């Protein structure tokens, strides 16, 4: 759906690299209306994709919560190196804010995705620390689903 939302704002002239590991999700994404934008669909894990420098915007929805701390940093750095200086990064992921139901919901989701998708995570990794370590500035944040989901727009310093 994000491709359609982007096309509503910019209907032409964008070059988008769309990386998705799940075959079914990729098939659904290819059916979306992307207007006259050029989409390069890559059906693979982002850590396996050779990303070249030169991206102005990176969007990572619910990506980093799939990884352990060790692999999080490697994958973050892999994506970070492809973003132009001054580029913008929109990241959306889960977070715990102390509400009792969040821990139960998170443990259930992690268990489900470990069994079905074989994710490696057993807990949420320190995503915010990766952005801080590379001196990203927070431009805007918005929370959803009782503050359990956090979307942050970062700008590279």
Residue 105 CA: distances (Å) to CA of 6, 111, 145, 148: 30, 10, 12, 10
Q: Given this model, what pLDDT does residue 63 score?
A: 81
Side-chain-side CA neighbours of residue 132 (13 Å): 4
Contact 61, 114 (CB under 8 A): no
Q: Given this model, what pLDDT does residue 122 score?
A: 65
Whole-model pTM: value is 0.81
Instruction: Give, for all 157 residues of the chain, the pLDDT tens digit.
Output: 888 988 999 888 888 888 988 888 899 999 999 999 989 899 998 989 998 878 888 888 888 887 878 888 899 999 999 998 999 989 989 888 888 898 888 788 777 776 676 767 667 777 888 899 999 999 999 999 989 888 999 998 7
Q: Given this model, what pLDDT does residue 96 score?
A: 83
| Burial class of residue 90 (count of CB atoms within 10 Å of its CB; 0-12, 13-18, 19+) | middle
Number of CB atoms found within 10 A of residue 27's CB: 12
């Amino acid at each position: 759906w994000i491709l359609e939302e982007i096309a509503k704002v910019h209907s032409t002239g964008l070059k988008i690299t769309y990386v998705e590991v799940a075959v079914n999700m990729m098939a659904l994404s290819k059916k979306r209306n992307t207007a006259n934008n050029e989409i390069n669909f890559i059906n693979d894990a982002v850590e396996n994709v050779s990303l070249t420098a030169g991206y102005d915007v990176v969007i990572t929805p619910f990506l980093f919560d799939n990884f352990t701390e060790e692999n999080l940093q490697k994958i973050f750095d892999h994506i970070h190196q492809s973003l132009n200086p001054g580029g913008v990064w929109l990241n959306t992921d889960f977070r715990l804010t102390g509400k009792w139901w969040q821990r139960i919901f998170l443990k259930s989701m992690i268990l489900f995705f470990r069994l079905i998708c074989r994710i490696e995570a057993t807990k949420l990794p320190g995503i915010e620390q990766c952005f801080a370590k590379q001196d990203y500035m927070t431009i805007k944040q918005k929370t959803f689903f009782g503050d359990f989901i956090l979307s942050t727009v970062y700008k590279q310093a």
